Amino acid sequence: MKKTIFKITDYIERDLKWEEEECKKLGIDFYYHQLRDASASELIKTFKDADILLTNMATLNAEVLDGLENVKVLLRHGIGYDKVDVEAATRNGIIFANEATASSDDVAEHTIMLILETFRKKKLQDKVLKRWIYTREWSSEDIYPMHRMKGKTLGIIGCGNIGSLVLEKMRGFAMKILVCDPYLSRERYEELGIKHTPFDDILRAADIVTVHVHVVTEETRGMFHLEKFRLMKKSAVIINTARGPVLNTDDLIIALKKGIINGAGIDVYETEPPAPDSELITMDNVILSPHIAWYSEEGGWDIRYMIMDDVKAFLEGKPPRFVVNPEVFDRPGLRFIMGNA
């Protein structure tokens, strides 16, 4: 019987020794590469014989997926899948899955860190501290005005795994919390103890807006643009730990420079990495982090365990846990036969 082939396009772990041992126990062939920026032809050549393919940041567009003639299951390391053409995967009969709950707590915690640092003007606090140290003069003038979060309004845009964790964790701050997520069921809203608030209404009401849209689509790309920023309070701040292209960067810079909004906390960028001359880097009212909200040792291992669970499911003739394109199961060209890997 032909051995199952499991390949990785690119990875961020320090090493994959644990995966090697696990695959050895399972009796499957395991190969890994660092081809994040490889051409379509190189990706096709390297991975066309794989049964299971795991990707992190490689671009798997229609050309690549059309050429991966043997791949039955495609896995994404993490949640987002902006670099995978889901329609092409479906057309080719490939089951595509992500690890939808991986690092959710980590991203929620990082979001709260950015909320606190942005709303409490941490960058300006650092300047005040340095001046105090070197001149012995203390003044809060540069930070004025500072407000407490208690009693203010938090707006959550997108309330899936991460957004709902932010909701849960932020309840202890005694804020009014509004949620916009048109895709949540009525039962889920009731379970969370909240009601749906229209997008524009949240922008008008919120002192802090935090974005948790998990995928970039025609609907969500650039959904925060200048006219939307103009709806927000001048004292409001925006936090994005979701997807960079959801915020129009040029419009965000204009809004920050002109005082249309008061601040921003950003972990993800429209173009990654951000340009060295990006004005966001030098702005006193902007807190930046290096697309690291997902990271913790615990979260990193959660993802690794979840991926290997999906590999084991494949060997048992079962689909992955979090299938992104369930419509593939209705296609006659589905490559993966249930119950018979």
Residues belonging to the active site: 243, 272, 291
Name the token pair of 110. 């990082």
What letter does residue 320 receive in the DSSP assignment? -
**How many other C-beta atoms can be found within 10 angstroms of the C-beta atom of residue 274?**
19
279 vs 274: CA distance, rounded Å: 10
136 vs 130: CA distance, rounded Å: 9
The CA distances from residue 311 to 156, 258, 319, in Å, are: 34, 51, 9
Look at residue 7 and give its three-state secondary structure.
strand
Number of H helices, E strands in the chain: 12, 11
**How many other C-beta atoms can be found within 10 angstroms of the C-beta atom of residue 217?**
12
